[in-house]
Structure 1
Amino acid sequence: MDIKDLFLTPVYLLFIYAVAFMINNRIRNKVIRPYFIPALNVKIIGAIALGLIYQFYYYGGDTYNYFKDSKVIWEAFLDSPFKAISIIFTDRQYDPSIYEYVRRIYFYVDPNSFHVVRLSGFFGLFTFHTYSLIAIFFAITCFSGMWALYKVFYDLYPHLHKKLAYAIFFIPSVFFWGSGLLKDTITLGALGWMFHAFYFGIIKRQHIVTNIVVMSLAILVVQGIKVYILLCFLPAAFFWIFMEYRARIRSGLLRFITLPIVIAISIPISYRAITKITEENTRYQLDNITATTKTTAEWLRTVGTSQGGSVYSLGEFDGTWTNMISKAPVAINVSLYRPYLWEARNPVMILSALEAAFFLFLTVRIFLQIKLSRLFHILTSQPILLFCIIFALTFSFAVGVSSYNFGTLVRYKIPMMPFFLSALYIIQSQAIKKKKKKRRDPFMAAQPNDVIVTT
């Protein structure tokens, strides 16, 4: 950040908030309207704070590398707008007209990271390539997806609007790591739109064509940057579809019988979808994913150790499926409930440890409040909860087994955090509702036409 950020950012923020308040005033639902501006506020604060942390605490990092690379696009724009547009939309094949520019882009050889550079360069065209403004536009893009995500949960559980708002908008790690000029910001926003379009288009069958188009675009974004998010999303989504139709069966016995059938159908369909999606990404093909996981884990552990970071170990990893799956329980525990408070070594880790402790507290409290049979009934009768749990657990396993570094893990795990915390709040509300029903006074429970006999 430099002097340009100080002068241009306030001017742009005036325009951004003018538009934001116009949109806010057009939100018809008075229950969710109060969350719009505060949720946008934390995203913008998170975007600026992340830049400051990277500049003055880490002295550099991915966010500034993306910014530095996108500066080449800005320079190309000053020479010729056509060249800048060509770089943004290039298919990364040799093009002599832009070679002098792209050869200076460090992430050009990394297609996943180059997508971030493209978007940064695009926003840079309208912001005079100002870091804070580019980061803010990243945050706004992500916010749109998070708002879409919130609308899904509110549609299903309107009485939990406050807790769901916290779970989706106000988890510190999510609005911090998911707001800056990073891959995580783009994929988190795309995940929100993908979830929204899936629910309203596929589950509720509303505006089907529009939602399928939105979902397809969101899938392309996630696939192009972090395909493993998609690999965790799709099995949960297919399972939700089948469970949704299963829930419409009136007979309890028949619903119970069809559960293993639903599982049996979901697995091969998910396998086929995953195979298709990873055709052009050999690193995440099922035959290679264990080797990719092993390589990533070793590299991140080495980097974390060399930089004095907070590393963790799941034991020896030999790169086989059997060995990797055996680490699922501890990997999931690492993602959901660690670092523990005594493992935190810096302010960022302390924040993550507090969040993990809160997740652990809620989980334990739920198991103390509700019987396993009741929990099973809640999950199987509400497909969205199964989706959230399946997505959260598979995603936690994926990032937990491949990170080996708490500093990296805290950023990688943010896509599952809103889903997991939302699921915990929903399950908790069901448990409380059940208890209240049992304890309800017979006089209070009586209907207007009821006759209560007392002696």
Structure 2
Amino acid sequence: MELKDLFLTPLYLLLFYGIAYALRRKATNAFTRKYFIPALSVKFVGAIALGLIYQFYYSGGDTYNYFNHTKIVYTAFTDSPALGLKLITANGEYDPATVKYTAQMYWYKASTEYFVVRVASLCSFFCFDTYSVIALMFAGLSFSGMWAMYVTFVRISPLTYKKLAFAVFFLPSVFFWGSGLMKDSLCIGALGWVFYGFYHVTIEKRNILFAALFGALGIYVLISTKVYILLSFMPPALLWVFNENNQRIRSAALRMVLKPLFLVLGVAAGYLGATNLTAGDEKYDVEKIGERTKVNQEYLTSGVENGSAYNIGSFDGSLSSLLVVAPQAVVVSLFRPFPWEARSAIMILSALESLLLLYLTVSLFYKTGIAKTFRLIASKPILTFCFIFVIVFAIGVGTNSGNFGTLVRYKIPLMPFYLAALYIMQQQAMKVKARPQARGPRRVPQLAAIK
């Protein structure tokens, strides 16, 4: 960070808060309004804190690598706006006009990392290439998608709006790793818009144009950065659509006839979508993803010297070995590191979060009963979707990481969905128990649609 960060950051904060207060009335209702500014504020805090920790604790890292590339693009833009725009739209190709700039960029031919550089460079044009302001802009972009995620959850389970706010916004690792100048900030924001768009277009069928537009934009961002998040989302989302619409069919016989058909179509659509999205991709091609995961896991595990590595068993990249290590991968993604495995302050926070998730999970299963809990998950399409998505994603990141340092970043997309599912399950279980004693109507908050 530089001296201009100290002068420009407060000014831009005032501007961003002014925009937020102007938008709050349209984006909230009486029940959710009080969370809008606090949720945005913790995103801002996370963005600044991440930059400070990378500068003074790690002495560098991905966020500053992105910024260093951004400075090169900004320099090209000040030399000639046409050159700056050409770099933003470049796709790794050689161009004599820009070669003196691209020769300085290590990630110029790395499409996923360079996408982040493109977005950061666009932000830099409006803030004199100031790191902290760019980080705040990333926090704002991430917040927009996470607010869309929150209001979608609230529309599905209105009575749980208080706990859902904590699940989506106030988990420390989520707002820390998902707020600054990082790929993770764009990804979790994009996932929120995909979730919002998917629900409103295919299930609720309201605000279809708006939801489709921003949902498609979220899909584009995920394809450009971390397509495996989208691959984990698609199959359970298709099953979610089927379950929601299947429950609306009055004829039980027709439901039974259509159920296997739609399940087969959903699996086929998910597979075709996954293979088409990843065909030829060096990192995520479905045909090579097992081998790539094995290599990545070995590299991350062997490269750790601070004691944060973990071992989930032997994994050779095959489907059979994946099935063997899958349960341990889910456990390590959701409930580890344990407190005694933490080796730093950041890992301690992650361990406390994992302990909270473990406590809520055990408590819910104990109070509700194992059989009743699984029946509840199967009977509520949103719960079925959340748990399948979380399990699929947890297996992916659990086997692909190898150490807790990378895992804490990789797993943040699943955490809001898992915690939200637990809170919705709590509400549903309480509703079932309280049904015989119900004496009168309760005031149920209804969320005004985002326009």
TM-score range, shorter chain: over 0.9
Distance 2:260 2:418 in 1: 24
Aligned residue runs from structure 1 range 12-161, under 5 A: 12-27=12-27, 29-161=29-161
Residue of structure 2 in register with 1:365 after alignment = 363
Distance 1:261 1:331 in 2: 31
Distance 2:440 2:271 in 1: 52
Distance 1:190 1:127 in 2: 23
Residue of structure 2 in register with 1:292 after alignment = 292
Residue of structure 2 in register with 1:314 after alignment = 312
- Equivalent residue of 1:109, what SS? coil
Residue of structure 1 in register with 2:304 after alignment = 304
- Which digits, 9 at most, give the CA deviation of each residue in 1:65-111, with x for residues without a partner? 11011110111011011111110111222211111111111111211
What is the identity, as a one-letter code, of the residue corresponding to 1:168? V
What is the identity, as a one-letter code, of the residue corresponding to 2:399? V
Residue of structure 1 in register with 2:331 after alignment = 333
Deviation at 1:367, TM superposition (A): 0.8
- Equivalent residue of 1:299, what SS? helix
Provide closer, same or farther for how the CA distance between residues 28 and 168 of structure 1 changes in structure 2, counting only shifts above 3 A.
closer
What is the identity, as a one-letter code, of the residue corresponding to 1:243? N
Alignment RMSD: 1.8
The question of whether the paired residues in 1 share the 8 Å contact of 2:339 and 2:352 is answered with yes
- Deviates further, 236-245 or 258-267: 258-267
What is the identity, as a one-letter code, of the residue corresponding to 1:248? R
What is the identity, as a one-letter code, of the residue corresponding to 1:249? I
* Count of residue pairs the alignment pairs up: 441
Residue of structure 1 in register with 2:448 after alignment = none
Residue of structure 1 in register with 2:400 after alignment = 402
Residue of structure 2 in register with 1:425 after alignment = 423
Distance 1:21 1:265 in 2: 45
Distance 1:284 1:27 in 2: 36
Residue of structure 1 in register with 2:188 after alignment = 188
The question of whether the paired residues in 1 share the 8 Å contact of 2:200 and 2:211 is answered with yes
Aligned residue runs from structure 1 range 208-219, under 5 A: 208-219=208-219
- Equivalent residue of 1:126, what SS? coil
Residue of structure 2 in register with 1:170 after alignment = 170
Deviation at 1:37, TM superposition (A): 0.2
Provide closer, same or farther for how the CA distance between residues 319 and 121 of structure 1 changes in structure 2, counting only shifts above 3 A.
same
Provide closer, same or farther for how the CA distance between residues 77 and 421 of structure 1 changes in structure 2, counting only shifts above 3 A.
same
Residue of structure 2 in register with 1:450 after alignment = none
Residue of structure 1 in register with 2:449 after alignment = none
What is the identity, as a one-letter code, of the residue corresponding to 1:188? I
Deviation at 1:216, TM superposition (A): 2.0
The question of whether the paired residues in 2 share the 8 Å contact of 1:309 and 1:407 is answered with no
Distance 2:182 2:301 in 1: 21
Deviation at 1:426, TM superposition (A): 0.4
Distance 2:227 2:440 in 1: 54
Provide closer, same or farther for how the CA distance between residues 23 and 216 of structure 1 changes in structure 2, counting only shifts above 3 A.
closer
**TM-score of the two chains, using structure 1 as the length reference:** 0.93
What is the identity, as a one-letter code, of the residue corresponding to 2:387? I
What is the identity, as a one-letter code, of the residue corresponding to 2:408? V
Provide closer, same or farther for how the CA distance between residues 328 and 310 of structure 1 changes in structure 2, counting only shifts above 3 A.
same
The question of whether the paired residues in 2 share the 8 Å contact of 1:150 and 1:165 is answered with yes
Give 5+ residue unaligned stretches, structure 1: 448-455
Residue of structure 2 in register with 1:275 after alignment = 275
Deviation at 1:269, TM superposition (A): 1.8
The question of whether the paired residues in 1 share the 8 Å contact of 2:91 and 2:111 is answered with no
Provide closer, same or farther for how the CA distance between residues 27 and 189 of structure 1 changes in structure 2, counting only shifts above 3 A.
closer
The question of whether the paired residues in 1 share the 8 Å contact of 2:108 and 2:114 is answered with yes
Distance 2:211 2:25 in 1: 25
Distance 1:13 1:370 in 2: 46
Deviation at 1:24, TM superposition (A): 2.0
Provide closer, same or farther for how the CA distance between residues 119 and 256 of structure 1 changes in structure 2, counting only shifts above 3 A.
same
- Deviates further, 20-29 or 423-432: 20-29
The question of whether the paired residues in 2 share the 8 Å contact of 1:369 and 1:431 is answered with no
The question of whether the paired residues in 1 share the 8 Å contact of 2:314 and 2:325 is answered with no
Distance 2:373 2:28 in 1: 35
Deviation at 1:338, TM superposition (A): 0.4
The question of whether the paired residues in 1 share the 8 Å contact of 2:190 and 2:219 is answered with yes
- Deviates further, 101-110 or 403-412: 101-110
Distance 1:194 1:401 in 2: 25
Q: Which has the higher contact order (CA 8 A, sep 6+)?
A: 2
- Deviates further, 174-183 or 426-435: 426-435
Pick one of 401, 413, 420 that aligns with 2:411. Answer: 413
Deviation at 1:377, TM superposition (A): 3.4
The question of whether the paired residues in 2 share the 8 Å contact of 1:388 and 1:423 is answered with yes
The question of whether the paired residues in 2 share the 8 Å contact of 1:148 and 1:193 is answered with yes
Deviation at 1:250, TM superposition (A): 3.5
The question of whether the paired residues in 2 share the 8 Å contact of 1:169 and 1:175 is answered with yes
Deviation at 1:373, TM superposition (A): 3.9
- Deviates further, 146-155 or 249-258: 249-258
Distance 2:23 2:210 in 1: 21
- Equivalent residue of 2:126, what SS? helix
